[in-house]
Structure 1
Amino acid sequence: MLRKIAALFTFFAIAASCKGPEARRPVQQSTGTFIQESAERNKALYTDEKEKIEKIIKADTTQDYIASESGFWYYYNIKDTVSAPKPKIGDDVTFTYNVKELNGTLILSEEEVGLQRYKVDQTNQELISGIRDGIKLMQEGETVTFIFPSYKAYGYYGIENKLGTNIPIKSTVTLKTIKQTPEN
């Protein structure tokens, strides 16, 4: 009889322990409103910047601005009329650039920045995305002035002690050389 009770007890213990583990539930649940609010703020910021930039472009009748597919505007100061190749992924390019506020106030001069060497889309260089995208539109010897909204420029971080956060900029870039890789 004691064996039957022990066997019955063992059976119930095994049956009770076969239950799978239960997932732990979070103590706090997030509703995702922060992300939605952030997206709305960014949309409003972009709309405001775009309106300011379009006013500047409309007021500047001396230049023919081109809207890029990447979300910035530009015009040629010096355009190469010969059909020369544009930089492709992996090409080594050298260039100079400056950074100005939209009103023309100089933030970084070409002398401060110096001659830049960049391997197109392969170096983890501290270049703003607007310049990385803009260089791919240029030919050797060209000088182009770009107007970048803040998300294509220095965005939330700005430049310490020189440029605040979320400020659109103008940048004049001169592409000095393109050294093509053997694959291109």
Structure 2
Amino acid sequence: MKYIILLIISITFSSCKTPEARKPESVQSGSFYKESAARSKKLNAKESGKIEAIMSQNPEYDYVASNSGFWYRYHTKVEIDTTTASFGDVIDFNYNVKDLDGNTIYSEEELGAQQYVMDKQEIFTGLREGLKLMKPTETVTFLFPSQKAYGYYGDKNRIGTNIPLIVKVTVNNITQKTSN
């Protein structure tokens, strides 16, 4: 009986041990982020080189470098009208999408006329920024590096991972947002 009581007391005291902090299994050094940044810089340099080669092969066109990291040229430029899209405006436009080799990914006929509410709907970054530069009846060809196009994920259909794009856009109309 004494042994049973001693056993119960020892189990009781040994089970009341305070919890100890666990040590981490691995230490993050930030090397993943450094390697990722290095890969992105290398990819951007490679894509920029391809885009610059396209521009140099077409010296008859005046390409403009945007502040956002893509290039563009005008087919039709409107000098008089100063209407550009702002937040909430509806843009009616047509466009096509090609890779840097000129292979059509999505044709204008296939995509049809598009309506986009500025900054309220999803559209890839480069096209959204490009539409902000355009006026009604203008036609512009944009050269987008992959980070301004669909980036790492692609469009989950025909545009794969890290594909730079050539996009020709015609803005048909811009309907200004009406105030309530």
TM-score, structure 2 normalization: 0.83
The partner residue of 1:51 within 30, 49, 52 is 49
For this pair of structures, how many residues does the alignment match?
Answer: 162
Query: Runs of at least 4 residues of structure 1 off by over 4 A?
Result: 21-25
Q: Tell me, in whole angstroms, the C-alpha distance in 2 between the residues paired with 1:35 and 1:162.
A: 29
C-alpha displacement of 1:182: 2.9
CA RMSD between the two structures: 1.9
The one-character-per-residue Cα deviations of 1:18-56 (angstroms, maximum 9, x if unpaired) are: xxx987653322111111100100001001111111111
CA distance in 2, matches of 1:114, 1:90: 22
CA distance in 2, matches of 1:44, 1:137: 28
Q: Look up the match of 2:165.
A: 169
Structure 2, unmatched stretches of 5+, are: 1-18
1:133 aligns with 129
Question: Distance between the aligned counterparts of 1:23 and 1:169, measured in 2?
Answer: 52
Aligned counterpart, 2:84: 86
Q: Which among 43, 66, 69 is matched to residue 67 of structure 2?
A: 69
Alignment-derived partner of residue 143 in structure 1: 139
Is there any run of 5+ residues in structure 1 with no aligned partner, and where?
A: 1-20
Q: CA separation of 1:78/1:22 partners in 2, compared to 1, >3 Å: closer, same or farther?
A: farther
**TM-score (norm. length: structure 1):** 0.81
Confirm or deny: 8 A CA contact 1:92 1:180 kept in the other structure: yes
Shift of 1:115: 1.4
